[in-house]
Structure 1
Amino acid sequence: MLHINRENLKSSHQLIWFVIDFIMLGLLFINLVFIIWDAIYNFVAVQSLLKEYTPGLQALYHPIHERFIFYDMIFVSLFLGEFFLRWGYAVKARTYDRWYFYPFIHWYDLIGCIPVGSFRFLRILRVISIIYRLHQYKIIDVTSTRAYRFVNFYYEAFMEELSDRIVLKVLSGMQQEVRRGSPLFDRIRQDILFPRREMLSDWISDRIAEAAQEGYVPNRGALRSYLEDRVDNALKQNHELSRLKYLPVVGPTIQETLEEAVGDIVAHVVHQILEDLASSSNHAFVEDIVNVFLPAPGHEEASEADSEALITLIIEVIEAVKAQVRVKYWREDLP
């Protein structure tokens, strides 16, 4: 339901113009209904039906239909009068830089006044401009209406579907260019990725450290118990080691000590690796990996495997972007 903000209407310095807007909206609505009805009445079948079932209405309206241009010109004269009134006010108030700018900016008002054929239906643009002006001055709130929400929802859905298809087409074309080893791939590698090797190394290093900190440090004890348990089970299934228990006196002790030592060594090594990854010391390791993928310009003759690995990386990054583009956010607003 469209509500009129009377406080803003009363406090506005353009009250008279807003009153004129509401009057013009009413006239435009009546005129458009009149045009649509006359277009329907123009069919011979409709005239025959009215003559058969409602002869009084048909006899009353038929003379109006015969002089439709005359009655439409009454509305046109009112619309043109309002147009020239606003044009004169715009010139007086110096709304535009030149006095003749107004009819060019408000061209739809003039074209809609042409009383010929489909030009009449362009008067709907005049309705839209008035509603937009009233909404802009907060006299009415179009966004609160069901009609606006309905139209806006499907407009946004259409635009999202259209833009997604365009973006997916472009990204797929980029993947094809990269696979063919076109100049696009060399530009990505030399002009975009290589100058940012240090930034990539820092970012990857920080992400690895953050993941190790969040995943390893809180579960350090549980991970150690798990590793020791796995090593213990593996050693018990080893036939060579199981033979130690048959040694007289010291056999079981040696077997148990060896199992504990191996479990402790494995757990310590894994913990040390994860602690290194969770600290800044992983930066050199990550930097070496990045340098392999992105060799210096002086070493362009990288191995085919390295180039293929970088191509695969770029394609997978683009594929991840495409997967995100495919998400239909407008469906989340469906009831």
Structure 2
Amino acid sequence: MLHVNRENLKSSHQLIWFLIDFLMLGLLIINLSFIIWDSIYGFVAVQNLLRDYTPALQAAYHPIHERFIFYDLIFVSIFLSEFVVRWGYSIKAGIYDRWYFYPFIHWYDLVGCIPVGSLRFLRILRVISIIYRLHQYKIIDFTKTRLFQFVSFYYEAFMEELSDRIVIKVLTGVQEEVKKGSPLFDRIQQDILYPRRAMLADWLSERVALAAQEGYVPNRGALRAYMENRVDEALKQNLELSRLKYLPVVGPTIQDTLENAVGDIVANVIHQILEDLGSTSNHAFVEDIVNVFLPEPDHELHEQSRNDALIQLIVEVVDVIKDQVRVKRWRENLP
């Protein structure tokens, strides 16, 4: 159901024009209904059917049908008069930069007024423009109507189906180009990534340091205890180390000392690694990793197997994207 916001209508500075819009909207609906009915009546079969079952109605309307152009011109004269008044107001208010811009911008109002055949049905464009203008000024809200929701749902479904097919077609083309040795991958690697190796190394270094600081420092004690427990369990399961306890007198002592020493060494090594990653000293390490993934362009000619693996990776990633594109979101909103 379409509701009119009376408060916005009363508080609007264009109340008179909005009232004219409502009047024109009513006249347009009446006129379009009249046009549709007269078009249906134009069929001889319909005239014969009315003559047989409702002769009074047929006899009353037939003279109107013969003079339809005259009655339609009455509506046209009203619409043209309203158009001229709005044109004059736009000139006076200086809405457009030139006085003759109005008829070009509102061309649909003029074309719909041509009383010839199918051009009459273009008056529906004026109905749409009036409804849109009223909606834009929050006088009415047609988005809450069932008709709009119905049309919007199937429009979104159609656009999703269409866009999905286009995207899948494009991605399939990308896969074919990558498989055939398209220079796209080489251009991305050499022209975009390689010149920015230093920037990538700096960014990754900062991200690694931030992740190490936020993830390790608050949980340092718990991680150390966990690592020591894991090392102790591993050492207890070691057959060679378990034989030390059979040594007379010093066997158990040596076993405990080794377990504690190994656990402490592992925990300290991991602690030092994470401390280094959480500081600026990780930059050289990250830079080496970046150089491995983005080697000098001259060395890439000798790494065909690596490129083949990377191409296969890209193809599989695109396959995953295509599978996600195939998901029909609009079906989730079906009742």
How does the TM-score come out when normalised to structure 2?
Answer: 0.81
Q: Counterparts of 1:37-116 in structure 2 under 5 Å? A: 37-116=37-116
d(CA) in 2 for partners of 1:152 and 1:280?
Answer: 54
The verdict on how the C-alpha distance between 1:124 and 1:158 changes in structure 2, with shifts beyond 3 A counting, is same
2:15 is equivalent to residue 28 of structure 1: no
Counterpart in the other structure of 1:217: 217
Contact 1:293 1:309 in 2 (8 A): no
Post-superposition offset of 1:310: 5.6
Query: What one-letter code is carried by the residue in structure 1 that aligns with 2:27?
Result: L
Query: What one-letter code is carried by the residue in structure 1 that aligns with 2:220?
Result: R
Q: Counterparts of 1:268-279 in structure 2 under 5 Å? A: 268-279=268-279
Post-superposition offset of 1:154: 4.3
Q: Counterparts of 1:250-269 in structure 2 under 5 Å? A: 250-269=250-269
d(CA) in 2 for partners of 1:19 and 1:96?
Answer: 23
Post-superposition offset of 1:122: 1.0
Query: What one-letter code is carried by the residue in structure 2 that aligns with 1:96?
Result: Y
Contact 1:227 1:266 in 2 (8 A): yes
d(CA) in 2 for partners of 1:43 and 1:92?
Answer: 48
The verdict on how the C-alpha distance between 1:168 and 1:220 changes in structure 2, with shifts beyond 3 A counting, is farther
The verdict on how the C-alpha distance between 1:73 and 1:279 changes in structure 2, with shifts beyond 3 A counting, is same
The verdict on how the C-alpha distance between 1:187 and 1:166 changes in structure 2, with shifts beyond 3 A counting, is same
Deviation string, structure 1 residues 111-152 (Cα, Å, up to 9, x no partner)? 212223322211110011122223334433444545444444
The verdict on how the C-alpha distance between 1:147 and 1:30 changes in structure 2, with shifts beyond 3 A counting, is same
Q: Percent identity?
A: 78
How does the TM-score come out when normalised to structure 1?
Answer: 0.81
Contact 1:241 1:255 in 2 (8 A): yes
Contact 1:211 1:278 in 2 (8 A): yes
Deviation string, structure 1 residues 250-275 (Cα, Å, up to 9, x no partner)? 22222222222222222322332233
d(CA) in 2 for partners of 1:73 and 1:319?
Answer: 61
Post-superposition offset of 1:6: 4.1
d(CA) in 2 for partners of 1:196 and 1:327?
Answer: 36
Post-superposition offset of 1:200: 1.7
Contact 1:87 1:102 in 2 (8 A): yes
d(CA) in 1 for partners of 2:38 and 2:8?
Answer: 38
Structure 2 gaps of 5+ residues are none
d(CA) in 2 for partners of 1:210 and 1:329?
Answer: 37
Counterpart in the other structure of 2:205: 205
